[in-house]
Amino acid sequence: MTSARVLLLVSGGIAAYKACFLARLLLQAGFSVKVAMTEAASKFVTPLTFQALTGNPVATDLWGEGQSEALDHIEYARWADLAIVAPATANTMAKAAHGIADDLVSTLLLAFPGPLLMAPAMNDNMWKHTATQANLETLHQRGVATVGPGEGWLACGTNSQGRMSEPEDILAAALEMAGSLEGLRPDQHPWSETRTENQGFWAGKRVLITAGPTHEIIDPVRYVANRSSGAMGFALASSAVKAGAKVHLVLGPTHLIAPRGLEHLENVESAKEMADAVAAGLAQGADWLFMSAAVADFSPAEPAAEKIKKEALGDNWALALKPNSDILAEVVPVHRRPELKVVGFALETEDVLARAKAKRQAKQMDYIVANNPTSEGAGFGMVNHQATLLGEKGVIWQSESIPKSELASGILKNLAETEKDIHHDSRG
Enumerate the active-site residues.
156
CA distance 261 to 258: 9
Q: Are 181 and 222 in contact (CB under 8 A)?
A: no
- Candidates 96, 184, 80, 189; CA nearest to 136 is 96
**Radius of gyration from C-alpha coordinates of the chain:** 23
Q: Are 265 and 330 in contact (CB under 8 A)?
A: no
Nearest to 8 by CA among 40, 41, 421, 134: 41
Please name every residue paired with 346 in a beta bridge, in sequence order, or none if there are none.
370
Cα(258)–Cα(250) distance, integer angstroms: 11
The region, left, alpha or beta by phi > 0 then psi within -120 to 50, assigned to residue 394 is left
* Gap between the Cα atoms of 122 and 124, Å rounded: 6
Residue 186: DSSP 8-state: G
DSSP string, 357-389: HHHHHHTT-SEEEEE-TTSTT--SSSS-B--EE
CA neighbor of 322 nearest in space, from 232, 218, 406: 218
Q: Residues with Cβ < 8 Å from 29, sequence gap 6 or more?
A: 1, 2, 171, 174, 175
Q: How far apart are CA 413 and CA 192, in angstroms?
A: 13
CA distance 166 to 148: 9
Strand partners, 5: 32
Q: How far apart are CA 321 and CA 5, in angstroms?
A: 48
Residue type, 276: D
Cis preceding linkage at 190, omega within 30? no
Please give the helix or strand (H or E) that residue 331 lies within, else none. none
